[in-house]
Structure 1
Amino acid sequence: MEPRTTELDPRYSDPKAGALPWHQAQERLAAAEMFWLTTVRPDGRPHVTPLIAVWSAGALHFCTGPDERKARNLAENPEVVLTTGSGRFDEGTDLVVEGAAERVTDETRLRALAAAYEEKYGAEWRFEVRDGTFVGDGGPAVVFAVAPRTAFGFAKGDPFGQTRWRF
């Protein structure tokens, strides 16, 4: 999926900065090991948790136990934000993906995602696919896909820059 628009925000960017191409952002999303997921509790308060995810078919994919707080939040409100980055002020690129989390239940797609998890994170993250879920040592896990509606890239260092992609 390609963005409808890519724009550098001059308010938050050095005059030397250029917009980050989407393909570079996708490469960073695919390589990132750790993400922070923000969901909304039923009472409107935010809930943030770290998790692992894989980039596949134009979306970030993550899994969670069906009774975990994030799964319960998503049952009420699918709107999420996923963030990743270097954690440093002066280097790297932080990425923010906004969108709606959609449950993935197609077993062919789930098998491909299970293989992607194992390839990226190792045999410790091996899942079987059963009844529209991942099944691992921790029991069943529901899988969600978040295709970006809007994404931001924050280049840090020299030059600083903020790119926004709209889909």
Structure 2
Amino acid sequence: MNEPISTRNLDNYGSPELPWSRPREALATLTPTADLTFFVATVRPDGRPHSAGVGAVWVDDALYFKGGPNTRRSRNLAANPACSVSVRLTGIDLVLEGEAHRVTDTETLERVAAVYRSGGWPVSVDGDAFTAPFSAPSAGPPPWHLYRLTLRTAFGVASAEPHGATRWDFG
């Protein structure tokens, strides 16, 4: 289990720090069936930011997302894997920061594809990528690369009781 090595309370109103288990459990139970949009922010080669909505899933305590090889996010990640992923979960807004690297091993691709299928996307593994009859236009045409976020830091701001704001560092 990916546990933080340090936690810092960022709340200015006296609320205690939030446990990492709160967003982790929300990610595990809400993906892939809830109507969530994750936003992946990457950096272009000239330093300008880029952000795109993606379908993401939490599998085996890690966040995975996809993108066509010619999408701006995939090209950016190939040059610089640093990125952030933002999402509004039930009761907590979450920003995840780290590095995203392409996943090519068949075992992981099959495991993540099964989770996507459980949410209604009829994806299959084709070589070292995904294919399906459809995907979001922002993903580009198939095949789609799969990326795994190596989590470094996360920020959560609770929008429901118990309130609070917390930073979690993962190393």
Is TM > 0.5 for Structure 1 vs Structure 2?
yes
Deviation at 1:159, TM superposition (A): 6.0
Q: Partner residue of 1:4?
A: 5
Whole-Å Cα distance in 2 between the matches of residues 158 and 129 of structure 1? 41
- 1:101 lines up with 2:100 in the alignment: yes
Structure 1 gaps of 5+ residues are: none
Stretches (4+) displaced over 4 A: 157-160
Q: Partner residue of 2:112?
A: 113
Q: Partner residue of 2:138?
A: none
Q: The residue matched to 1:148 in structure 2 has which SS?
A: strand
**2:148 corresponds to which of 121, 145, 149:** 145
> How high is the TM-score relative to the length of structure 2?
0.85
Whole-Å Cα distance in 2 between the matches of residues 153 and 20 of structure 1? 8
- For the aligned residue pairs, the C-alpha RMSD in angstroms reads 1.7
- 1:134 lines up with 2:133 in the alignment: no
Deviation at 1:160, TM superposition (A): 4.3
Whole-Å Cα distance in 1 between the matches of residues 17 and 123 of structure 2? 38
- Size of the alignment, in residue pairs? 157
Residues 24-33 or 125-134, more deviating? 24-33
Whole-Å Cα distance in 1 between the matches of residues 101 and 25 of structure 2? 22
Deviation at 1:158, TM superposition (A): 5.9
* Per-residue Cα deviation, 1:61-90 (whole angstroms, up to 9, x for no partner): 00111111111111111001000015xxxx
**2:82 corresponds to which of 79, 84, 109:** 79
Structure 2 gaps of 5+ residues are: 134-140
Whole-Å Cα distance in 2 between the matches of residues 104 and 113 of structure 1? 10
Q: Partner residue of 1:20?
A: 18
Amino acid at match of 1:25: P
